[in-house]
Amino acid sequence: MAATSRQASSVSPDAPAPVIVAIDGPSGTGKSSTSRAVAAKLGLSYLDTGAQYRAITWWMLTHDIDVKDTEAVAAAADRPEILSGTDPAEPTITVDGADASGPIRTQEVTGAVSAVSAVPAVRTRITELQRAIAAGAPTGIVVEGRDIGTTVLPDADLKIFLTASPEARAARRGGELKGSGGRPVDLDATREALLRRDAADAGRKTSPLRKADDAVEVDTTELTLEQVIECVVTLVEDKQQAR
C-alpha cells in the first residue's frame, strides 16, 4: 500500500522550499484542467484525488462489494494498492498494478463514487496516501479535490476554491463527455446528476466539500480556462515571492 511519485527527485540545495497548492471545488469548475496546467507551468507535481476515490470505487465494484454496504466497504478499504503518478504531463493511476485510468471514468464508477468516498475508513486510507505523496513532492505539488484545503493539507501554502454556475458546469461536463466519444449529451440530465453528486459530497459527515476559511474563491463562470490558469499561476507566484 505505497504511494509513488514518478517524477525526478533531484533538487539543488538552494532550491526554494516546496510549495503546496490545494485546489478544491465541485465538478465542472475546471479544477482538473487548471490544476494540471498550473503544475506543468510551475514545475510542480500534480495529484488528482478524485481519481483515487474513483480507483477505490472501481476496485470495490470489481470485487463484488456492495457499495451501499458501509461496513463491507470499510472492511475492504485497506486492501487495494493504489498508486498515483504525479507528472502533470502524464498523470497515472494503477490499482493492484493494473492501469485504472479508463475504467475509473465509466458511468458505473461515477454513480458509485459518492457512496464509497463517504465511508470514513475510505477517507482515512486515501487521505494517508495523499499526505505521503504531497510530502514527497520535490518542488511542491498542486493537489485537487474536495477537502484538500480543509482536511488533507490544512497547512497548504495556497488554497483555491473554484466555483461556477450549475449551467456552466453542466455545459463543461457535457462537452467532456461528448469529447470522449459518447452519444450526444442531455445537458439537463448532466446538470441534475452533477447537482446530486455535489449535494452528496457537500452533505456527507466526514470531510464534506467545503471552502476553507482561508481559501481564495475564484468564480470561473465567465472565465476561459486560460484566464483561470493565469489567475492561479499569479496567485502561486505571489505566494512564492512573499515567502
> Per CB under 6 A, does 5 bind ligand DC?
no
Examine residue 201 and tell whether it contacts ligand DC (CB under 6 A).
yes
In the complex with ligand DC, the residue whose CB is nearer, 11 or 225, is 225
Q: Is 159 in the site for ligand DC (CB under 6 A)?
A: no
Q: Which is nearer to ligand DC, 187 or 240 (CB)?
A: 187
Name which of 202, 204, 212 is nearest 122 in CA terms: 204
| Nearest approach, Cβ of residue 93 and ligand DC (Å) | 11
211: which DSSP letter?
-
- Neighbouring-strand partners of residue 20: 141
Q: Does 147 help bind ligand DC (rule: CB under 6 A)? A: yes
Residue number with CB closer to ligand DC (9 or 107): 107
Going along 52-191, which residue ranges are E strands?
Answer: 82-85, 92-95, 98-99, 140-145, 158-163
Is 54 a binding residue for ligand DC by CB under 6 A? The answer is yes
CB closer to ligand DC, 44 vs 47: 47
d(CA 95, CA 84): 9
Residues in binding contact with ligand DC, number by CB under 6 A: 14
Rounded to 5 degrees, φ, ψ at 218 are: -125, 115
Residues near 157 by beta carbon (within 8 Å), at least 6 away in sequence: 19, 20, 21, 140, 239, 243
Q: C-beta of 48: minimal distance to ligand DC in Å?
A: 7
Binding footprint of ligand DC on the chain (CB under 6 A): 27, 49-50, 53-54, 113-114, 117, 145-148, 197, 201
